[in-house]
Chains A and B, each alone.
Chain A
Amino acid sequence: MGPRILVVDDSATIRDQVRRALQPAGFEVFDARDGIDGLAQLDSAPDTALVICDVHMPRMDGLEMIALLRDRGDRRPVLMLTTEGQPALILRAKASGARGWIIKPFDPMLLVKAVQVLSSPPAVR
Chain B
Amino acid sequence: MTELLSVLDAMAFESCQTLASTPAVRRVPTGDEQEPSELVAVIGFSGDLLRGAVGLTGTREALRATHPATLAGETTNPEQLDDWLAEMVNQLLGRFKAHLHRRGVGIWMSTPLLLRGLSLSVASSGDQVHRYELVLSGGHVFTFWLDLNADAGLTLGEIAEGDANTPNPGDVLFF
Interface residues of A (CB under 8 A from B): 10-14, 16-17, 20, 56-58, 82-87, 90, 94, 98-107, 110-111, 114, 117-118
**Is residue B118 within 8 Å, beta carbon to beta carbon, of the partner chain?**
no
Residues of B within 8 A of A100 (CB): 172-175
Comparing B2-10, B79-87, B129-137, the segment that makes contact with chain A is: B79-87
Given contacts A83-B95, A86-B166, A104-B94, contact A13 B87 (CB under 8 A): yes
**Is residue B148 within 8 Å, beta carbon to beta carbon, of the partner chain?**
no
Residues of B within 8 A of A94 (CB): 175
Contact of A85 among B109, B166, B175 (CB under 8 A): B166
Inter-chain contact A86/B84, CB cutoff 8 Å: no
Chain B interface residue number, banded: 20 to 34
A20 to B76, CA, bound (A): 14
Other contacts beyond A85-B168, A86-B98: 8, CB < 8 A: A17-B68, A20-B68, A82-B94, A83-B94, A100-B174, A101-B173, A102-B173, A104-B94
Inter-chain contact B167/A85, CB cutoff 8 Å: yes
Inter-chain contact B84/A13, CB cutoff 8 Å: yes
**Is residue B69 within 8 Å, beta carbon to beta carbon, of the partner chain?**
yes
**Is residue B90 within 8 Å, beta carbon to beta carbon, of the partner chain?**
yes
Residues of A within 8 A of B68 (CB): 13, 16-17, 20
Inter-chain contact B69/A105, CB cutoff 8 Å: no
Residues facing A in B135-175 (CB within 8 A) are: 162-163, 165-175
Nearest CB of B to A73, in Å: 19
Contact of B111 among A20, A58, A103, A106 (CB under 8 A): A58
Inter-chain contact A103/B83, CB cutoff 8 Å: no
Inter-chain contact A11/B87, CB cutoff 8 Å: yes
Inter-chain contact A86/B111, CB cutoff 8 Å: no
Given contacts A102-B172, A114-B172, contact A57 B111 (CB under 8 A): yes
Interface centre among A94, A104, A105 (most CB of B within 10 A): A105
Contact of B101 among A10, A57, A85, A107 (CB under 8 A): A85
Residues of B within 8 A of A105 (CB): 91, 169-170
Given contacts A17-B68, A56-B111, contact A12 B172 (CB under 8 A): no
A83 to B95, CA, bound (A): 7
Inter-chain contact A103/B169, CB cutoff 8 Å: yes
Inter-chain contact B91/A83, CB cutoff 8 Å: yes
